[in-house]
Amino acid sequence: MEMKDIKEKFLEILEKAKNIVFLTGAGISAESGIKTFRGEDGYYKNVSVMKLASVEGFLENPKLVWQWYNERQENILKAKPNPAHKAIAKFEKMMEKEGKKVYVITQNVDDLHERAGSNNLLKLHGDIFTVKCISCDYKENRNEVIKERNCPKCGQLIRPDVVWFGEALPVGIYEKAYQLAAESDIFFVVGTSAVVYPAAYLPVLASSSGATIFEVNINETPISSNAIFLKGKAGEILPEILNIKVN
């Protein structure tokens, strides 16, 4: 389908739509200079996923895992929201005036959607600037490179408050995401390889509940055959399809 025809179809569906949901992944932040996980230049290219993103990996080598998170925190602090984050945030405000709701469900632990101005945001995999104790209930959020390694309450190790493999998503967050997907009329899948569950289940659920799926990615994914696929960079495609001017 040509971009012109896709835009027409989008506008036609949008007219009747009440709930529009965006599921985003690492690819949406790539144009802000943040690496993805599974790409050619991705974080998991040289080091095993389980060494960096599992409790077992962390307990085996907390120094290595913390070094990775500190580098990422530093990089995110320097990064700025790109036209894709901005277009979604502007679209939310624009749709609000028409009585429509726009939600973002992100797998990203960066804060670029917040900084772009998205308000209805669910973070499935946690937040890189929050730390928690592996033993007690200590938790703290600080927008900086967090260098402490031990809990000020009990002295045990502290870790990033993110969701690693084998861990449950934050309480109530998946349930809310599930509900939003089931109630969506339009469901955008942006910059995710759609291989990590349960996030990858959301577009499937949305589609089986009757939503139209639009996917924006530089490569096809397991979702593509079931979606209107827009091949290209999120920062270029989203402003165009949403018809939003961003600076």
Which positions touch ligand BJW (CB under 6 A)?
25-27, 30-31, 36-39, 42, 53, 107, 109, 125, 162-168, 191-193, 195-198, 216-219, 221, 233-234
> If you write DSSP's letter for every residue of 30-97 in order, what string do you get?
HTTT---SSSTT-GGGTS-HHHHSSHHHHHH-HHHHHHHHHHHHHHHHH----HHHHHHHHHHHHHHH
CB of 169 to ligand BJW, least distance (A): 7
CB of 126 to ligand BJW, least distance (A): 6
Tally the C-alpha atoms within 13 A of residue 230's C-alpha that lie toward its C-beta.
25
The answer to whether the CB of 50 falls within 8 A of the CB of 56 is: yes
* Closer residue to ligand BJW, CB minimum distance, 110 or 185: 110
Is 125 marked active-site?
Answer: yes
Task: Tell me the residue nearest to ligand BJW as measured from the CB.
Answer: 27
d(CA 22, CA 5): 21
CB of 202 to ligand BJW, least distance (A): 12
The answer to whether the CB of 143 falls within 8 A of the CB of 115 is: no
CA angle 59/158/166 to nearest 5° reads 50
CB of 179 to ligand BJW, least distance (A): 18
* Closer residue to ligand BJW, CB minimum distance, 100 or 233: 233
* Closer residue to ligand BJW, CB minimum distance, 42 or 117: 42
**DSSP type of residue 148:** -
The answer to whether the CB of 54 falls within 8 A of the CB of 62 is: no
CB of 49 to ligand BJW, least distance (A): 7
Which of 72, 113, 125, 159 does the annotation list as catalytic?
A: 125
Q: Where are the beta strands (DSSP E) in the chain?
A: 19-24, 101-106, 121-123, 126-133, 139-141, 158-162, 186-190, 212-217, 228-231
Classify the phi-psi angles of 42: left when phi > 0, otherwise alpha if psi is within -120 to 50, otherwise beta: beta
* Closer residue to ligand BJW, CB minimum distance, 20 or 84: 84
* Closer residue to ligand BJW, CB minimum distance, 154 or 169: 169
d(CA 78, CA 97): 33
Q: Tell me the catalytic residues.
A: 125
